[in-house]
Amino acid sequence: MKIASEDGDAHPIGATGTVLGSVGVPDLSVAYFIEFDATPQQATFVAEGKIAAIAAE
């Protein structure tokens, strides 16, 4: 789930999706490629501080 946002981000706080993969990035530590539910078949690059895992139901 997206937990932080800034001007220009394509997805709002609360947006959910699936992690497709991750990559180490200097000055960011880790970033993720997310397929958000609102934009299927489109990977979005997201810094780790902007997303958090949600519990499976």
Residue 27: what pLDDT?
77
Q: For residue 55, is it within any domain? A: no
Which domain covers residue 36, as residue numbers? Answer: 1-50
pLDDT digits (tens, 9 = 90+) for 7-49: 999 999 999 999 999 999 787 689 999 999 999 999 999 988 9
Is residue 56 a part of any domain in this protein? no
- Predicted local confidence at residue 36, as pLDDT: 97
User: What DSSP letter does each residue of the chain carry, written as one string?
Assistant: -B----TT-SS-TT--EEEEEEEEETTTEEEEEEEETTSTT-EEEEEGGGB------
So what's the pLDDT on residue 51?
94
Residue 46 lies in a domain: yes
Structural domain count, the chain? 1
* Per-residue confidence (pLDDT) for residue 52, from 0 to 100: 94
